[in-house]
Amino acid sequence: MDKKFTFEEIFKQNENRIHYHIHKLRIRDPYNEFYVEGLFALWLAYKNYQPDKGPLSTYFNFVIRNRMIDMIRKKAREQKINEACLQNESIQQQDGNYSTISNGPLVTPKDIEVADTEVWDEVKKLLTPNQWKWVDYYIIQGLSQKEIAQLEGVSIDAVKSWAREAKKKLRASGILNCKEDV
């Protein structure tokens, strides 16, 4: 294109194309982000248009629509990442030892009598060294699973695995009466 028209003239003639695609794609655009993206797409199409490839209006529609679809996908990806981060943050804050009602620990070290060493010796005999570490750190000392993982240099999933297996063994032995005990 030999650029017979300025971009301002092209813009005045084709501004409604931007609004058309926003409407056609059912986009809510309260901050005019998609309008600005459409305007940028119009400018790119104006700069890159090659007359031998087809009509200018068709090219405008193609570029504007595809840029808006790309922006929709980008925003969806960002939202998915943000939701995953929020969910991960929520999990780390609650760490599984918190009630959703009181936001306090379900079991606190004060609730457990540590003075009866015979009971703890029996518990220790039932468990593997890692399972005992979980009982000691989590139940007796009141550390979070994240803190235990950092102390032991393992993943949080490893600590959770120790906890699951320890609970199974303690339930089987009769020390824990139900799933809600710890």
- Measured between alpha carbons, how far is 114 from 174 in angstroms, rounded to an integer? 19
- CA torsion, points 53, 55, 56, 62, in degrees to nearest 10? -80
Mean pLDDT calculated for residue range 139-163: 90
Whether residue 66 is predicted with pLDDT greater than 90 in this model: the reply is yes
Q: Per-residue pLDDT tens for 76-100?
A: 999 999 998 888 877 776 665 554 5
Full-model pTM: 0.48
Looking at residues 112-116, what average pLDDT do you find? 56
Tell me what percent of the residues of the chain surpass a pLDDT of 90.
Answer: 42
Q: Is the pLDDT of residue 102 over 60?
A: no
What are the chain's domains?
7-94 (no CATH), 109-173 (1.10.10.10)
Per-residue model confidence (pLDDT) at position 38:
93
Mean pLDDT of 67-77: 93
Q: Which ranges constitute the DSSP H helices of the chain?
A: 7-24, 33-48, 56-94, 117-126, 129-134, 145-152, 156-173
Q: Rounded to an integer, what distance in angstroms lies between the CA atom of residue 127 and that of residue 75?
A: 49
Higher pLDDT, 111 or 62: 62
Asked whether residue 106 carries a pLDDT value surpassing 80, the answer given is no
Q: Are 63 and 42 in contact (CB under 8 A)?
A: yes
Taking only the tens place, the pLDDT of each residue in 10-41 is 889 999 999 999 999 999 999 999 999 999 99
Sign of CA dihedral 139, 145, 147, 152: positive
> What is residue 113's predicted lDDT score, i.e. its pLDDT?
54
